[in-house]
Amino acid sequence: MHASELQVPDRFRHEVLRRTPVAGAAWLAELPGRCAELCRRWRLTISGPVAAGGTSMVVPVIMPAGRAALKIIGPTIDATTEATALQAFDGDGVVRLFEADPTANALLLEWLPGPSLDSEPDPQAAVRIAGGLAARLGQTPAPAGIAGLDDGAEAWRHQLIEQHEAADQAGLAFPDDLFAQALQAVAELGRSRPRRLTHGDLSLDNVLSDGDGRWVAIDPLLVAGPVAHEVHTIVRSRLPEIGDTATLAELTKEAARAAEVDHGWASRLSLARYVASAYWESQNGGDPDNVRRLRTATLFSVRLIS
Q: What is the pLDDT along the chain (306 residues), one digit of tens a residue?
A: 565 567 888 888 998 899 899 999 998 999 999 999 999 999 999 999 999 888 899 999 999 999 999 999 999 889 999 999 999 999 999 999 999 999 999 999 999 999 999 999 999 999 999 999 999 999 999 999 999 999 999 999 999 999 999 999 999 999 999 999 999 999 999 999 888 999 999 999 999 999 999 999 999 999 999 999 999 999 999 999 999 999 999 999 999 999 999 999 999 999 999 999 999 999 999 999 999 999 999 999 999 986
The packing angle between helices 176-190 and 153-169, to 10°, is 170
Alpha-carbon separation of residue 207 from 81, 118, 172, 201 (angstroms): 19, 8, 35, 10
Give residue 176's pLDDT: 97
Residue 38 to residue 294: CA distance in whole angstroms: 42
The packing angle between helices 228-236 and 263-283, to 10°, is 50
Please, what CATH class does the domain formed by 3-110 belong to? alpha beta
Residue 203 to residue 52: CA distance in whole angstroms: 17
Start and end residues for every CATH 3.90.1200.10 domain found in the chain:
117-303
Burial 152-190 (b: 16+ CB within 10 A, else e): bbeebbeebeebbeebeeeeebbeeebbebbbebbebbb
Omega into 115 within 30° of 0, i.e. cis?
yes
Residue 169 to residue 1: CA distance in whole angstroms: 56
Quick check: helix, strand or coil at residue 225? coil
State pTM to two decimals. Answer: 0.93
In CATH, the number for domain 117-303 is 3.90.1200.10
Residue 1 to residue 7: CA distance in whole angstroms: 10
6: left (phi over 0), alpha (psi -120 to 50) or beta: beta
Give residue 242's pLDDT: 96
Residue 204 to residue 259: CA distance in whole angstroms: 14
Q: Which among 68, 142, 78, 137 is positioned nearest to 99, based on CA atoms?
A: 68
CB-count exposure of residue 294 (10 Å: 0-12, 13-18, 19+): buried
Give residue 53's pLDDT: 81
Start and end residues for every CATH 3.30.200.20 domain found in the chain:
3-110
Give residue 2's pLDDT: 61
Please, are residues 97 and 82 in contact by the beta-carbon 8 Å criterion? no
